[in-house]
Structure 1
Amino acid sequence: MTAADTRVQLVRDATFARIGTDGGITGTRGSAPDGLFLRDARHLSRWQLTVDGTSPVALVPATAETDHTAGSVLTPKGTRDNPPAYTVFRQQTVTAGMLTEHLRLVSNRPDPVTARVHLTVDADFADLFELRADDRRYLKPGARYETRPTDEGLRFDYRRGEWHARTTVTSRPAPDAVEPSPTAPESTARTLTWTLELDGHGQADLQLTVRAHPHGPAAHLAAVPHPHPHPQTPTATDDFSRTCERGLADVDLLTIPVTGVDGEEVYAPAAGIPWFLTLFGRDSLLTSYFLLPYRPQTAAATLSALAATQGQRYDTFSGEQPGRIVHETRHGELAHFRQVPYGRYYGAVDATPLFLILLQAHHETTGDRSLAVRLERHARQAVDWMLTDGGLEKHGYLVYTPDPGGLVNQNWKDSAGAICFTDGTQAEGPIAVSEAQGYAYDALVRTADLAQHVWRDEAYAHRLRETAARLRDRFLTDFWMPGADFPALALDGDGRQVDALASDAGHLLWSGILDTDHAHRVGRRLLEPDFFSGWAIRTLAAGQQPYHPLSYHRGSAWPHDNAVIALGLARHGLADEVATVAEGLIAAAARHGYRLPEVIAGYARTATAGPVPYPHACSPQAWAAATPLALRTALRQVRRDVPAPHPAT
């Protein structure tokens, strides 16, 4: 959530809710929507309480007591001479597919009190893509909404062709009445009414349960097991350990059930809340890589899930190609009816090499050959995609062509305009971004290692190593900018160097595509003040025309980007630079309740007392949550005084 967003966010078991300071939901859209959400849809869009005919006053605004529970204290309006007759203690909890609420009304008077409680409820079943702040509207031919009372409350149904989603509301005691909303009688909203009698200084309780029933099988409505539960309050005593602890807890919150390559259920990290509580290729892979020394089972689950969704055919609409690793999966109505291409969207140039990198790293870290053997066919198909449709054989590099119906840019900086020249002009394709070439090089080298030591295919290993060596040789010639003494951000479709100075260069240290001398020059350059804000390395160096500290990818700073860079700095022995990046990020986390958000603004540390939030950042967000673990790994590689945490911590 952003600094201006006062809503409370609750999340558990692939379900999340966003509520107001009074515990209410009003159906907002835009960058901070409220409601109850499951599988890319909003199942509760209005939840407004009134007592004695007016909105209650929040004596204690809704506050998260745990990651999935919030409490507030409300009263009817009163005066100094006529104080409220009773107080409402409100507790709300999110679990798998549910929002539960306990209202406890406590009388403040010695005589009996009658409380009139009204709750106005609605479910708009809006797809997350409808709720974004881009003013896009989607037609829904044949859509039908139905609201009807039940013995215990209320039921909402939404149908469109074969699509059927519903939301139920039940209460104990049952409501006295269920009627159309007096403020919107023509809408699907309904108002539930209770008359509760309170003895003198007595109390009455009202239990409410909202159950979301999305379209499709109900397997996702189960609780997600967490083999390593974490305390709700930090137990560590230093900021670094507290940030690691909070990060692992956030990864748990973002863990969702997905289908593995053999049809088994596995648990992999989703990308982030509110927009990305779903499997993402790049995000889930890097998150799993950061966690690999501490939780190797996360990598195994992610690899299995992505192998299960690997491209098998050609589909221009979704970008699917044989062997390509998926960018994201979606379960909402608009994806189901192919009104957006994201049901399984393959518009990522980097997910496929990252899949191969993680597969070899899992074997190297664990010594377990079984996963690499199980996914050999998928790995070979991924290599084939890099060589063919990915562009290595035709263009000499991994390339993507901007997708006007999906993502204009298909590397991790996937916002429009992110891959730009120093004058701010967006590059045109086919585009070869620098970091993807490093990933491709590393993927070829690592897959050759698997071919030699696990699959026992020496000829294939030799072929991959030769391909990697040729890529490494031409990369420096084509990408290095002698004047700037720095790599280009990309090559455009005409082979011109896209000359903005960008953080992507730091990923080249991690992948090993740069020699030691060039790696040291890049690493030290990234710690200069125009790049390093004091909190983190910016996505784009300040002082360039397109730089904007509040942009998504042209001057903001991303924790996960810095984590990859830190691992690269450690690979090349740049210990002071690793320590500087780690200190800045941990200091930023300490000012965010030990939680690193998806992205922070690019303002210098000397300009403000704390890091400036990026207005639309996801929080929690998986690869940001895993960043402190990557920092710990990087520090352990260059310093002996960093302890190795227990794998479960």
Structure 2
Amino acid sequence: MNATADTTLVGAGTFAVLGTDGGVSGRRGTSPDGLFHRDARHLSRWALTVDGAAPAVLVPSSGEASALCVLTPPGTRDEPAAYTVFREQAVAAGVLTERLRLVNNRPAPSTAVLSLIADADFADQFELRSDKRRYEKAGAVRTALAHAEGVTFTYERGEWLSRTAVCASPAPVSVEPSDAQATAHQLDWHLELPAHGAAELLLTVTAYAHGAPAPALVGSPAEAVAEHGALTSAFTSTPLPLPADAPEGLAAACARGLSDLAALRVPATGPDGERVCVPAAGVPWFLTLFGRDSLFTSLFALPYRPELAEGTLRALAATQGTEYDTGRGEQPGRIVHEIRHGELAHFRQVPYGRYYGSVDATPLFLVLLESYTEATGDRELATRLELQARAAVTWMFRDGGLDDGGYLVYSPDPQGLVNQNWKDSDGAVCFLDGTQAEGPIAVAEAQGYAYDALVRTARLARSLWDDATYADRLESAAADLRARFLRDFWMPGPDFPALALDGAGRQVDSLASDAGHLLWSGILDERHAQRVGRRLLEDDFFSGWAIRTLASGQPGYHPLSYHRGTSWPHDNAVILLGLARCGLRDETRTVALGLLEASAHHGHRLPEVMAGYSRAQHPRPVPYPHSCSPQAWAAATPLAVLTALRTARPAEVGPPAPRARP
């Protein structure tokens, strides 16, 4: 099966990856297929045969609210296929539903024999994407129980219990174990077809995840599509303030992004137990709350869809660290990096049940809190979250490293992430020669976020919390951080900020896109910010589509490296907002147009990441082979493009205002 031809359906915290024929083969590795809910695969086999043979694909599966394909049993030119199978599939929360309509192509009544092999392996997503590691699962038992309407698969491991129920209408004439796999079952039907008539079969796969409420019943793809349409329409229908001179493709990219953001919302819980919706990071690996990803997504969407920011702030406040737990990086006041609901997280075989290994989620939480308050005029939320905000500030000083004139730092986590900034792959924070910096590491962009967080939280303290003394202290700390940042990070030779300082205080001297984030946060004065902004538009950084994570020509550069040469739309979105903020209007428009043209080559859906090859090397953006799609902060990037084009101001003399508007 060609993974590039897969159809992905996503909504309400559930997604399905289906082959060209609507089937599921049980793939593992970088492109698994199946039905996924709460970090587990609840359907790993879904293979249809008609009259004993796999049908041919006449029209491959495609679609978003639902997947549609057309299949035919074997036939020849002289003896055309007896039936045509019209297959429709859709997802709802915890459910895959399917409608098979068989049309008799002949003038005589006929009986079609349909068979479907189904199985559920309940594999944790961390198992599926691991090529080498095998997780010990002592005592785990998988069973299957046939019943009149279909079959129910069950997985038990100690107190852990998950089920997948397959039900059909009409009921199958038989349900028997299949020799193909241990718990796989074959369901059979004999469908009577009138002359040139039709018969239908409805199938429902319901995922009952451990610790989650039972999904609502969904009777057909039409019901699932209607539910998906209602949720999407409520989110996307409010028009965006597009400027009269909006560049070509902006409206389509924004519409595509809003539609993806609507589908990527997942349920979460706020600090008072209230139900909220948050933008999950992306499919297939990250359909869950991610601190950094959800925060940036919410910041980009804030002027147009502030409800994302409110949900994200409430959910992150509810999961904020309260104790010291080295196994998962938790510290009091620290904002969570990743939430997982799967089996391996439950049994602490991976640190990601709640994993706090992020240096930047905590200051970004504070940035979003004040940005939301300013953008909406809602003073209640920042008042409700005052204690959480103060705890986040305390973490930045006590555990983050800002105390005593230090910087916000992280140390490589032997049980988690080596790098804990947004470039979190091994080796991403590298010297010019390509060697990974050793910690504690102070990455440049995190210092900018910390500066902005202090300035903004001081504003909240003064205007909402009636604590001028606290506000004065934060403003003083911000001013000190800004002054010494330029002294310690600016590299006179390349006339550019260092990517980071390593544990010995040495400048990590790669030329990296992280410097563009400094324009957005306001930690650089106008003169230095404009020098950085113009440098990022030179050919070694700007590919014609977007700004690369690492300037080409350096020893560490590789156009297909995850963080050392590729281009990330969200990274460019932050840079765009910075370019607009410091008055580089021509540069703002150049990057905006590059992103929009790249979007047009992807059906107006920006991918998570693109290869670093330039337009001169290839006339279309070259895909990164393992990019998530849809992906939240890429989906929100067109909204940041819109904001940057609307708000780009002319250059001013003197330092910029301390506020970095989203």
Could you say which TM-score interval applies, normalised by the shorter chain? Answer: over 0.9
Relative to structure 2, which stretch is displaced further, 131-140 or 322-331? 131-140
Q: Tell me the equivalent position of 1:192.
A: 187
- C-alpha displacement at 1:395, in angstroms? 6.4
> Does 2:344 match 1:334?
yes
What SS does the corresponding residue of 2:4 show, helix, strand or coil?
A: coil
Measure how far apart 1:418 and its partner are.
Answer: 0.3
Are 2:324 and 2:332, in contact at CA under 8 Å, matched by a contact in 1? yes
Equivalent residues in 2 for 1:315-334, closer than 5 Å: 315-334=325-344
Q: How far apart in 2 are the matches of 1:579 and 1:7? A: 35
- The answer as to whether partners of 1:388 and 1:394 remain within 8 angstroms in 2 is no
Please say if residues 364 and 453 of structure 2, whose CA atoms lie closer than 8 Å, have aligned partners that are also in contact: yes
Structure 2 Cα separation of the partners of residues 282 and 25 of structure 1: 32
Q: Provide the rounded CA distance (Å) in 2 between the counterparts of 1:533 and 1:210.
A: 45
Q: After superposition, what is the alpha-carbon deviation per residue over 1:188-247, rounded to whole angstroms, capped at 9, x for unaligned? A: 10110111121211111111110011001317769784573448xx9x994101101111
Q: Residues 551-566 of structure 1 correspond to what in structure 2 (within 5 A)?
A: 551-566=561-576
Counterpart in the other structure of 2:77: 80
Is the Cα contact below 8 Å between 1:5 and 1:32 reproduced in 2? no
* Equivalent of residue 140 in structure 1, options 133, 137, 141: 137
User: CA deviation digits over 1:404-441, x for unaligned, max 9?
Assistant: 21111000000000000011100110000000000001
Q: How far apart, CA to CA, are the structure 2 residues paired with 1:630 and 1:608? A: 26
1:52 corresponds in structure 2 to 51
Q: Does 1:95 align with 2:101?
A: no
Aligned-pair distance for 1:4?
5.9
- State percent identity of aligned pairs: 67
1:644 corresponds to: none
Runs of 4+ in 1 over 2 A off after TM superposition: 219-231
Is residue 603 of structure 1 aligned with residue 613 of structure 2? yes
Contact 2:581/2:649 (8 A) holds in 1: no
Are 1:475 and 2:485 matched, yes or no?
yes
What is the number of residues matched between the two proteins? 632
Letter in 2 for 1:113: S
Q: Partner residue of 2:220?
A: none
Give the letter for the 1:580 counterpart: T
Taking structure 1 as the reference length, what is the TM-score of the superposition? 0.95
Match of 2:35 in 1: 36
Equivalent residue runs for 1:155-234 within 5 Å: 155-184=152-181, 187-218=182-213, 225-226=231-232, 228-230=234-236
Q: How does 1:324-363 map to 2 (within 5 A)?
A: 324-363=334-373
> How far has the Cα of 1:248 moved from its partner?
0.8
Give CA deviations for 1:44-89 in whole Å, capped at 9, x if unaligned.
Answer: 000000111111101111111xx23011111111111111111111
Query: Normalising to structure 2: TM-score of the pair?
Result: 0.93
Q: 1:584 to 1:539 in 2, by over 3 A?
A: same
Partner-residue secondary structure (3-state), 2:234: coil
Greater CA drift, 488-497 or 210-219: 210-219
Secondary structure of residue in 1 paired with 2:278: strand
State how far apart, in whole Å, the 2-side matches of 1:346 and 1:571 are: 31
What per-residue deviation string (whole Å, max 9, x for no partner) do you get for residues 296-343 of structure 1? 121111101100000000000000000000001000000000000000
- What residue number does 1:485 align with? 495
Structure 2: distance between partners of 1:471 and 1:497: 17
- Structure 2 residue matching 1:159: 3-state secondary structure: strand
* Counterpart code for 2:151: L
Opposite residue 50 of structure 2, the aligned amino acid is V
Question: Separation in 1 of the partners of 2:44 and 2:73?
Answer: 24
What are the Cα deviations for residues 144-203 of structure 1, in whole angstroms up to 9, with x where unaligned?
11101011000000000100000000001111111111334xx11011011112121111
Q: 1:4 to 1:73 in 2, by over 3 A?
A: closer
Unpaired runs of at least 5, structure 2 = 218-226, 651-662
CA contact (8 A) 2:208 2:214 kept: no
1:643 aligns to what?
none
1:480-501 CA distance string (max 9 Å, x none): 1100100000001111111111
> CA offsets, 1:608-644, max 9 Å, x none?
221111111111111111111111111111279xxxx
Label 1:171 to 1:221 Cα distance change in 2 as closer, same or farther (>3 A).
Answer: closer
Q: Residue 429 of structure 1 corresponds to which residue in structure 2? A: 439
CA offset digits 1:369-399 (Å, max 9, x no partner): 1111000000000000000100111561000
Q: CA RMSD in A?
A: 1.7
Could you say if the C-alpha distance between residues 339 and 391 of structure 1 is closer, same or farther in structure 2, counting changes exceeding 3 Å? same
Residue equivalent to 2:12: 13
Find the counterpart in structure 2 of residue 646 from structure 1. Answer: none
Work out whether residues 490 and 497 of structure 1, in 8 Å CA contact, stay in contact via their aligned partners in 2.
Answer: yes
**1:592 aligned partner, one-letter code:** H
Say if 2:579 and 2:648, in contact at 8 Å, map to a contact too: no
Quote how far apart the aligned CAs of 1:134 are: 3.3
